[in-house]
Amino acid sequence: MRIECKSLAKNIREQAKREAKGKKLYLHNIVVGEDEASLVYAKSNLKLLRKMGFDGKIHHLEEDEKILLGLIDSLNEDERVHGIMVNFPLPKNIDAMKVRERILPIKDVDGINPLNYGKLLLGQEILVPNTPRAVIRILETITNLGGKDVLIINRTPVVGKPLSLLLLNRDATPTIAHSKTMNLEEKARNADIIVVAVGKPGFLREDMVKEGAIVIDVGINVVDGKIVGDADFENIEKKAYITPVPGGVGTVTNACLIENLVKAAKLQGVI
Ligand code: NAP
Protein backbone atom coordinates (compact mmCIF):
# COMPACT_ATOMS: atom_id res chain seq x y z
CA MET A 1 0.00 0.00 0.00
CA ARG A 2 1.30 3.35 -1.05
CA ILE A 3 1.52 6.08 1.62
CA GLU A 4 0.17 9.33 0.19
CA CYS A 5 2.52 12.20 1.13
CA LYS A 6 1.58 15.07 -1.19
CA SER A 7 -1.57 16.13 0.69
CA LEU A 8 0.34 16.06 3.99
CA ALA A 9 3.02 18.32 2.45
CA LYS A 10 0.31 20.69 1.21
CA ASN A 11 -1.32 20.83 4.66
CA ILE A 12 2.03 21.64 6.31
CA ARG A 13 2.72 24.42 3.78
CA GLU A 14 -0.76 25.93 4.15
CA GLN A 15 -0.56 25.87 7.95
CA ALA A 16 2.89 27.55 7.79
CA LYS A 17 1.50 30.24 5.49
CA ARG A 18 -1.38 30.94 7.89
CA GLU A 19 1.03 31.18 10.82
CA ALA A 20 3.21 33.70 8.94
CA LYS A 21 0.20 36.12 9.17
CA GLY A 22 1.05 37.86 5.89
CA LYS A 23 4.70 38.52 6.81
CA LYS A 24 7.05 37.96 3.85
CA LEU A 25 9.86 35.70 5.05
CA TYR A 26 13.29 35.24 3.48
CA LEU A 27 15.41 32.07 3.43
CA HIS A 28 19.04 32.22 2.36
CA ASN A 29 20.49 28.98 1.04
CA ILE A 30 24.26 28.46 0.80
CA VAL A 31 25.81 25.97 -1.61
CA VAL A 32 29.59 25.52 -1.48
CA GLY A 33 31.55 24.15 -4.42
CA GLU A 34 30.27 22.21 -7.40
CA ASP A 35 27.64 20.08 -5.73
CA GLU A 36 25.00 19.67 -8.42
CA ALA A 37 22.49 17.88 -6.15
CA SER A 38 22.61 20.70 -3.56
CA LEU A 39 22.13 23.33 -6.27
CA VAL A 40 19.11 21.53 -7.70
CA TYR A 41 17.67 21.20 -4.19
CA ALA A 42 18.27 24.89 -3.38
CA LYS A 43 16.64 26.00 -6.65
CA SER A 44 13.56 23.85 -6.09
CA ASN A 45 13.22 25.26 -2.56
CA LEU A 46 13.45 28.82 -3.83
CA LYS A 47 10.76 28.10 -6.40
CA LEU A 48 8.49 26.69 -3.71
CA LEU A 49 9.13 29.68 -1.41
CA ARG A 50 8.19 32.14 -4.16
CA LYS A 51 5.07 30.17 -5.03
CA MET A 52 4.02 30.62 -1.40
CA GLY A 53 4.65 34.38 -1.35
CA PHE A 54 7.96 34.12 0.53
CA ASP A 55 11.37 34.70 -1.03
CA GLY A 56 15.05 33.95 -0.65
CA LYS A 57 18.43 33.79 -2.24
CA ILE A 58 20.94 31.13 -3.25
CA HIS A 59 24.59 31.91 -2.48
CA HIS A 60 26.84 29.72 -4.60
CA LEU A 61 30.31 29.99 -3.06
CA GLU A 62 33.79 28.77 -3.90
CA GLU A 63 35.39 26.30 -1.50
CA ASP A 64 36.76 28.84 0.97
CA GLU A 65 36.02 28.56 4.71
CA LYS A 66 36.73 32.23 5.47
CA ILE A 67 34.32 33.45 2.80
CA LEU A 68 31.66 31.00 3.98
CA LEU A 69 31.95 32.00 7.66
CA GLY A 70 31.97 35.69 6.70
CA LEU A 71 28.76 35.25 4.72
CA ILE A 72 27.09 33.42 7.62
CA ASP A 73 28.09 36.29 9.96
CA SER A 74 26.54 38.89 7.69
CA LEU A 75 23.32 36.85 7.25
CA ASN A 76 23.14 36.36 11.04
CA GLU A 77 23.19 40.14 11.49
CA ASP A 78 20.83 41.00 8.63
CA GLU A 79 17.30 41.54 9.97
CA ARG A 80 15.84 40.90 6.51
CA VAL A 81 17.10 37.28 6.65
CA HIS A 82 14.88 34.92 8.66
CA GLY A 83 16.42 31.56 7.81
CA ILE A 84 19.90 30.32 6.89
CA MET A 85 20.52 26.93 5.36
CA VAL A 86 23.95 25.51 4.49
CA ASN A 87 23.87 22.48 2.21
CA PHE A 88 25.78 19.40 3.29
CA PRO A 89 28.05 17.59 2.58
CA LEU A 90 30.61 20.41 2.61
CA PRO A 91 33.95 20.10 0.78
CA LYS A 92 36.63 18.39 2.91
CA ASN A 93 38.75 21.54 3.32
CA ILE A 94 35.93 23.20 5.27
CA ASP A 95 35.48 22.52 8.99
CA ALA A 96 31.82 21.48 9.16
CA MET A 97 31.66 21.93 12.96
CA LYS A 98 32.75 25.57 12.66
CA VAL A 99 29.99 26.13 10.11
CA ARG A 100 27.35 24.48 12.30
CA GLU A 101 28.42 26.56 15.31
CA ARG A 102 28.43 29.82 13.36
CA ILE A 103 24.76 29.82 12.28
CA LEU A 104 22.66 31.81 14.72
CA PRO A 105 20.51 29.15 16.47
CA ILE A 106 17.28 31.15 15.93
CA LYS A 107 17.95 31.32 12.14
CA ASP A 108 19.06 27.69 11.90
CA VAL A 109 16.16 26.37 9.78
CA ASP A 110 17.74 22.95 9.19
CA GLY A 111 18.53 22.43 12.87
CA ILE A 112 22.25 21.81 12.42
CA ASN A 113 23.66 24.07 15.16
CA PRO A 114 24.95 22.04 18.17
CA LEU A 115 22.69 24.06 20.49
CA ASN A 116 19.58 22.96 18.60
CA TYR A 117 20.87 19.36 18.51
CA GLY A 118 21.59 19.52 22.24
CA LYS A 119 18.10 20.73 23.01
CA LEU A 120 16.68 17.85 20.98
CA LEU A 121 18.82 15.44 23.01
CA LEU A 122 17.25 16.89 26.15
CA GLY A 123 13.75 16.44 24.74
CA GLN A 124 13.16 20.03 23.55
CA GLU A 125 12.25 20.25 19.85
CA ILE A 126 13.08 23.86 18.85
CA LEU A 127 14.55 23.83 15.31
CA VAL A 128 14.98 20.18 14.33
CA PRO A 129 16.49 18.83 11.04
CA ASN A 130 13.79 18.65 8.40
CA THR A 131 14.22 15.16 6.97
CA PRO A 132 13.73 13.27 10.26
CA ARG A 133 10.88 15.65 11.10
CA ALA A 134 9.26 14.79 7.77
CA VAL A 135 9.56 11.08 8.59
CA ILE A 136 7.80 11.67 11.91
CA ARG A 137 5.03 13.75 10.29
CA ILE A 138 4.37 10.96 7.78
CA LEU A 139 4.36 8.26 10.46
CA GLU A 140 2.02 10.24 12.70
CA THR A 141 -0.59 10.45 9.95
CA ILE A 142 -0.80 6.67 9.67
CA THR A 143 0.04 5.16 13.05
CA ASN A 144 0.44 5.66 16.78
CA LEU A 145 4.17 5.55 17.47
CA GLY A 146 3.90 4.58 21.15
CA GLY A 147 5.54 1.17 21.75
CA LYS A 148 6.45 0.58 18.09
CA ASP A 149 9.76 -1.12 17.17
CA VAL A 150 11.42 1.10 14.58
CA LEU A 151 14.53 0.12 12.65
CA ILE A 152 16.43 3.10 11.22
CA ILE A 153 19.05 2.10 8.64
CA ASN A 154 21.26 5.20 8.80
CA ARG A 155 23.33 6.73 11.63
CA THR A 156 24.13 10.17 10.21
CA PRO A 157 23.38 13.53 11.90
CA VAL A 158 21.14 14.34 8.91
CA VAL A 159 18.72 11.44 9.34
CA GLY A 160 19.32 8.56 11.78
CA LYS A 161 20.58 10.22 14.95
CA PRO A 162 17.98 13.02 15.20
CA LEU A 163 15.22 10.63 14.08
CA SER A 164 16.02 8.23 16.93
CA LEU A 165 15.59 11.10 19.43
CA LEU A 166 12.30 12.23 17.88
CA LEU A 167 11.05 8.65 18.12
CA LEU A 168 12.11 8.33 21.76
CA ASN A 169 10.22 11.56 22.51
CA ARG A 170 7.14 9.79 21.10
CA ASP A 171 7.51 6.56 23.10
CA ALA A 172 8.69 4.41 20.18
CA THR A 173 11.63 1.98 20.49
CA PRO A 174 14.24 2.88 17.85
CA THR A 175 17.14 0.69 16.74
CA ILE A 176 19.87 2.33 14.65
CA ALA A 177 21.59 0.17 12.04
CA HIS A 178 24.59 1.03 9.85
CA SER A 179 27.16 -0.63 7.62
CA LYS A 180 28.73 -2.63 10.52
CA THR A 181 25.41 -3.89 11.93
CA MET A 182 25.11 -7.68 12.26
CA ASN A 183 21.93 -9.59 11.34
CA LEU A 184 20.34 -6.59 9.66
CA GLU A 185 17.86 -8.72 7.71
CA GLU A 186 16.53 -10.36 10.86
CA LYS A 187 16.24 -6.97 12.60
CA ALA A 188 14.33 -5.63 9.59
CA ARG A 189 11.92 -8.58 9.57
CA ASN A 190 11.07 -7.98 13.24
CA ALA A 191 10.45 -4.24 12.89
CA ASP A 192 7.00 -2.63 12.87
CA ILE A 193 8.49 0.34 11.01
CA ILE A 194 11.62 0.50 8.82
CA VAL A 195 13.21 3.81 7.84
CA VAL A 196 15.80 3.25 5.13
CA ALA A 197 18.32 5.98 4.16
CA VAL A 198 21.32 4.18 2.75
CA GLY A 199 21.64 5.66 -0.73
CA LYS A 200 21.57 2.30 -2.57
CA PRO A 201 18.73 1.45 -4.96
CA GLY A 202 17.02 -1.88 -4.20
CA PHE A 203 18.75 -2.15 -0.79
CA LEU A 204 15.56 -3.01 1.13
CA ARG A 205 14.01 -6.15 -0.34
CA GLU A 206 10.49 -7.50 0.06
CA ASP A 207 11.71 -10.54 2.07
CA MET A 208 13.22 -8.18 4.70
CA VAL A 209 9.82 -6.63 5.50
CA LYS A 210 7.10 -8.20 7.63
CA GLU A 211 3.50 -8.28 6.48
CA GLY A 212 1.68 -5.03 7.33
CA ALA A 213 4.84 -3.17 8.35
CA ILE A 214 5.48 0.48 7.46
CA VAL A 215 8.45 1.40 5.26
CA ILE A 216 9.66 5.00 4.98
CA ASP A 217 12.06 5.32 2.06
CA VAL A 218 14.36 8.32 2.53
CA GLY A 219 16.85 7.32 -0.17
CA ILE A 220 17.35 9.40 -3.29
CA ASN A 221 19.21 7.69 -6.16
CA VAL A 222 19.36 8.32 -9.89
CA VAL A 223 19.04 5.18 -12.01
CA ASP A 224 18.89 5.54 -15.82
CA GLY A 225 17.97 9.20 -15.39
CA LYS A 226 15.10 8.39 -13.01
CA ILE A 227 14.89 9.16 -9.29
CA VAL A 228 14.35 6.07 -7.13
CA GLY A 229 14.58 5.27 -3.42
CA ASP A 230 16.37 2.53 -1.49
CA ALA A 231 13.46 0.07 -1.35
CA ASP A 232 11.97 -2.35 -3.86
CA PHE A 233 8.74 -0.34 -3.95
CA GLU A 234 6.75 -2.55 -6.34
CA ASN A 235 7.14 -5.74 -4.34
CA ILE A 236 7.05 -4.25 -0.85
CA GLU A 237 3.86 -2.36 -1.72
CA LYS A 238 2.06 -5.73 -2.03
CA LYS A 239 2.53 -6.64 1.64
CA ALA A 240 3.32 -3.41 3.55
CA TYR A 241 2.78 0.34 3.65
CA ILE A 242 5.50 2.29 1.84
CA THR A 243 6.30 5.88 0.82
CA PRO A 244 7.05 6.50 -2.88
CA VAL A 245 10.19 8.14 -4.30
CA PRO A 246 9.78 10.77 -5.69
CA GLY A 247 6.70 12.33 -4.07
CA GLY A 248 7.37 10.95 -0.59
CA VAL A 249 9.77 12.00 2.16
CA GLY A 250 11.47 14.64 -0.04
CA THR A 251 8.17 16.45 -0.68
CA VAL A 252 7.33 16.53 3.02
CA THR A 253 10.91 17.61 3.89
CA ASN A 254 10.52 20.68 1.64
CA ALA A 255 7.29 21.59 3.44
CA CYS A 256 8.96 21.07 6.83
CA LEU A 257 11.70 23.51 5.82
CA ILE A 258 9.07 26.21 5.26
CA GLU A 259 7.45 25.31 8.56
CA ASN A 260 10.85 25.79 10.25
CA LEU A 261 11.31 29.15 8.50
CA VAL A 262 8.07 30.35 10.09
CA LYS A 263 9.13 28.93 13.44
CA ALA A 264 12.50 30.70 13.17
CA ALA A 265 10.76 34.00 12.39
CA LYS A 266 8.63 33.54 15.52
CA LEU A 267 11.78 32.90 17.58
CA GLN A 268 13.19 36.16 16.16
CA GLY A 269 10.01 37.96 17.20
CA VAL A 270 9.08 39.11 13.69
CA ILE A 271 5.71 37.34 13.65
P1 NAP B 1 25.37 8.81 3.97
O2 NAP B 1 26.11 9.84 4.73
O3 NAP B 1 26.00 8.14 2.80
O4 NAP B 1 24.89 7.69 5.01
C5 NAP B 1 24.39 6.44 4.63
C6 NAP B 1 24.08 5.61 5.87
O7 NAP B 1 23.72 4.31 5.43
C8 NAP B 1 25.27 5.47 6.82
O9 NAP B 1 24.84 5.50 8.16
C10 NAP B 1 25.82 4.09 6.44
O11 NAP B 1 26.49 3.40 7.48
C12 NAP B 1 24.54 3.35 6.09
N13 NAP B 1 24.84 2.22 5.22
C14 NAP B 1 25.54 2.23 4.05
N15 NAP B 1 25.64 0.97 3.55
C16 NAP B 1 24.99 0.16 4.42
C17 NAP B 1 24.74 -1.24 4.49
N18 NAP B 1 25.19 -2.07 3.54
N19 NAP B 1 24.03 -1.72 5.53
C20 NAP B 1 23.57 -0.89 6.51
N21 NAP B 1 23.77 0.43 6.50
C22 NAP B 1 24.47 0.96 5.48
O23 NAP B 1 24.01 9.41 3.43
P24 NAP B 1 22.96 10.47 4.05
O25 NAP B 1 23.38 11.85 3.73
O26 NAP B 1 22.65 10.15 5.47
O27 NAP B 1 21.71 10.13 3.12
C28 NAP B 1 21.24 8.81 2.93
C29 NAP B 1 20.25 8.74 1.77
O30 NAP B 1 19.14 9.58 2.07
C31 NAP B 1 20.80 9.27 0.43
O32 NAP B 1 20.21 8.53 -0.62
C33 NAP B 1 20.33 10.70 0.40
O34 NAP B 1 20.22 11.19 -0.93
C35 NAP B 1 18.99 10.57 1.05
N36 NAP B 1 18.49 11.80 1.69
C37 NAP B 1 17.21 12.15 1.46
C38 NAP B 1 16.67 13.27 2.07
C39 NAP B 1 15.22 13.62 1.85
O40 NAP B 1 14.76 14.63 2.34
N41 NAP B 1 14.45 12.79 1.17
C42 NAP B 1 17.46 14.06 2.90
C43 NAP B 1 18.77 13.67 3.16
C44 NAP B 1 19.28 12.52 2.56
P45 NAP B 1 27.93 3.90 8.07
O46 NAP B 1 27.58 5.06 8.97
O47 NAP B 1 28.43 2.72 8.78
O48 NAP B 1 28.73 4.31 6.88
Distance separating alpha carbons of residues 170 and 161, to the nearest angstrom: 15
Kindly state whether residues 145 and 207 are assigned to the same domain.
yes
Q: Which SS3 state, helix, strand or coil, does residue 86 take? A: strand
Residue in 3, 38, 41, 156 to alter for ligand 1 test, most ligand atoms within 8 A of Cβ? 156
Question: How large is the average pLDDT for residues 115-142?
Answer: 97
Task: Say what the pLDDT of residue 253 is.
Answer: 97
Question: How large is the average pLDDT for residues 20-34?
Answer: 97
Residue 2 lies in a domain: no
Kindly state whether residues 68 and 176 are assigned to the same domain.
no
Kindly state whether residues 154 and 192 are assigned to the same domain.
yes
Question: How large is the average pLDDT for residues 98-109?
Answer: 98
Kindly state whether residues 141 and 235 are assigned to the same domain.
yes
* Residue that is last in its domain, among 106, 121, 142: 106
Q: Look up residue 105 and give its DSSP letter.
A: G
Residue 255 lies in a domain: no
Question: How large is the average pLDDT for residues 81-98?
Answer: 96
- pTM tops 0.75, yes or no: yes
Kindly state whether residues 80 and 158 are assigned to the same domain.
no
What band does 99 get if pLDDT is binned at 50, 70 and 90?
very high
Neighbours of 1 (CB within 10 A): 13
Q: Give the residue from 26, 88, 90, 80 showing the smallest Cα distance to 58.
A: 26
Report the share of the chain in percent with pLDDT over 70: 100
Residue 117 lies in a domain: no
Kindly state whether residues 97 and 143 are assigned to the same domain.
no
Closest ligand 1 atom, residue 131 Cα: 40
Residue 125 lies in a domain: no
Ligand 1: residues whose CB is within 6 Å?
Answer: 131, 153-156, 158-159, 177-181, 184, 197-199, 218-221, 249-250, 253
Distance separating alpha carbons of residues 245 and 227, to the nearest angstrom: 7
Kindly state whether residues 161 and 233 are assigned to the same domain.
yes
Residue 59 lies in a domain: yes
Name the β-bridge partners of 153: 177, 196
Question: How large is the average pLDDT for residues 73-96?
Answer: 97
What band does 239 get if pLDDT is binned at 50, 70 and 90?
very high
CA 16, distance to chain mean position in Å, is 17
pLDDT tens string 138-161: 999 999 999 999 999 999 999 999
Neighbours of 43 (CB within 10 A): 13
Kindly state whether residues 100 and 172 are assigned to the same domain.
no
pLDDT tens string 196-211: 999 999 999 999 999 9
Amino acid, res. 119: K
Name the β-bridge partners of 29: 58, 85
Task: Say what the pLDDT of residue 35 is.
Answer: 86
Task: Say what the pLDDT of residue 27 is.
Answer: 98
Residue 4 lies in a domain: no
What band does 36 get if pLDDT is binned at 50, 70 and 90?
confident
What band does 37 get if pLDDT is binned at 50, 70 and 90?
confident
Distance separating alpha carbons of residues 209 and 82, to the nearest angstrom: 42
Q: Give the residue from 15, 220, 105, 48 showing the smallest Cα distance to 58.
A: 48
* Residue that is last in its domain, among 106, 139, 154: 106
Kindly state whether residues 102 and 138 are assigned to the same domain.
no
Q: How far is the CA of 124 from the centre of ligand 1 (A)?
A: 25
Task: Say what the pLDDT of residue 69 is.
Answer: 98
* Residue that is last in its domain, among 37, 72, 106: 106
Kindly state whether residues 150 and 102 are assigned to the same domain.
no
For the domain that residue 147 is a member of, what is the CATH number? 3.40.50.720
Are 51 and 65 a contacting pair, CB within 8 Å? no
Residue 176 lies in a domain: yes
For the domain that residue 27 is a member of, what is the CATH number? 3.40.50.10860
* Average pLDDT over the chain, rounded to an integer: 97
Are 217 and 196 a contacting pair, CB within 8 Å? yes
Residue in 3, 154, 252 to alter for ligand 1 test, most ligand atoms within 8 A of Cβ? 154
Task: Say what the pLDDT of residue 42 is.
Answer: 94
Q: How far is the CA of 152 from the centre of ligand 1 (A)?
A: 10
Closest ligand 1 atom, residue 158 Cα: 26
The total number of structural domains that make up the chain = 2
Residue 5 lies in a domain: no
> Strands 226-228 and 221-223, how do they pair?
antiparallel
Distance separating alpha carbons of residues 126 and 111, to the nearest angstrom: 8
Q: Which SS3 state, helix, strand or coil, does residue 26 take? A: strand
Kindly state whether residues 49 and 150 are assigned to the same domain.
no
User: How many C-alpha atoms does 43 have within 13 Å on its Cβ side?
Assistant: 7
Kindly state whether residues 74 and 142 are assigned to the same domain.
no
Report the share of the chain in percent with pLDDT over 90: 97
Among protein residues, the one whose CA lies closest to atom 25 of ligand 1: 158
Distance separating alpha carbons of residues 194 and 180, to the nearest angstrom: 17
Q: Which SS3 state, helix, strand or coil, does residue 242 take? A: strand
| Domain hosting residue 146, numbered range | 130-250
Question: How large is the average pLDDT for residues 53-64?
Answer: 97
